[in-house]
């Protein structure tokens, strides 16, 4: 492996570990030392790849948003209709929780006021992306009469996001996967799924 490949690889590994730490402990409760210990490198090495914790945080959110985009694209390509899309969307959360993690951005939402501005902005983008995609699915479902719900699609989209994040938050600390699954089933049922 040449230097550049190695560099990319290291950066990715740092992001992977940092992401897991944020998803389990939160942004304010992990440190460069945590990552350094796990990788058996010095803290200074990490600063070579990410000059500040704030920038590392922004990169985490942007990568997470990007990964979500790819998943949503794949759902759009493969899922057969709004009901399947909604189910697949819920499955995203299920898989995260199965890894004993919180949604990265749900965790960061709790810490929102303590985060540096650039991270707050990146968070806004993440949730907006979720909302826009969901609104599209709901609109499609309403038009095809395969989904039943009242009110605006954006209100409904925001409700779904909030309920899933909240169910995840509670399941992560109290009740585990069984609790989340029950909540997800009930939520889907509210939309006729």
Give contact residues for DNA (rule: CB under 7 A): 3-4, 6-8, 10, 30-34, 40-45, 47-49, 51-54
Residue 32: contacted member of DNA, its own copies, none (CB under 5 to 8 Å, by partner type): DNA
Alpha-carbon distance of 173 to 98, in angstroms, equals 13
The rounded distance, in Å, linking the Cα atoms of 169 and 69 is 22
Q: At what angle do helices 82-98 and 153-173 cross, to 10 degrees?
A: 20
Question: Tokens 């697949």 appear where?
Answer: 88
Q: Is 3 or 173 the residue whose CB approaches DNA more closely?
A: 3
CB of 116 to DNA, least distance (A): 9
User: What's the CA angle centered on 173, arms 171 and 179, to 5 degrees?
Assistant: 20
Give the residue with the Cβ less far from its own copies, 41 or 169: 169
Work out how close the CB of 172 gets to DNA at its nearest, in angstroms, rounded to a whole number.
22
Nearer Cβ to its own copies (41/54): 54
Residue 78 interacting entry, from DNA, its own copies, none, C-beta within 5 to 8 Å by type: none
- Give the separation between CA 138 and CA 133, rounded to whole angstroms: 9
Kindly state the helix (H) or strand (E) to which residue 171 belongs, with its residue range: helix 153-173
54, 79, 187, 193: residue in contact with its own copies (rule CB under 8 A)? 187
């Amino acid at each position: 492996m040449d230097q550049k490949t190695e560099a990319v690889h290291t950066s990715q590994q740092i992001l992977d570990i940092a992401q897991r730490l944020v998803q389990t402990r939160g942004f304010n409760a992990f440190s460069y030392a945590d990552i350094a210990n796990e990788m058996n490198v010095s803290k200074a090495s990490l600063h070579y790849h990410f000059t500040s914790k704030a920038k590392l945080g922004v990169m985490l959110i942007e990568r997470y948003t990007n990964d979500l985009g790819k998943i949503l694209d794949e759902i759009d390509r493969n899922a057969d209709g709004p009901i399947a899309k909604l189910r697949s969307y819920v499955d995203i959360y299920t898989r995260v929780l199965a890894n004993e993690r919180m949604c990265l951005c749900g965790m960061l939402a709790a810490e929102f006021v303590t985060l540096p501005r650039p991270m707050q902005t990146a968070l806004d983008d993440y949730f907006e992306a979720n909302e826009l995609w969901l609104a599209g699915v709901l609109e499609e479902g309403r038009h095809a009469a395969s989904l039943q719900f009242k009110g605006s699609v954006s209100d409904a989209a925001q409700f779904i996001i909030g309920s899933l994040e909240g169910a995840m938050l509670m399941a992560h600390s109290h009740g585990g996967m069984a609790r989340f699954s029950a909540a997800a089933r009930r939520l889907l049922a509210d939309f006729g799924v």
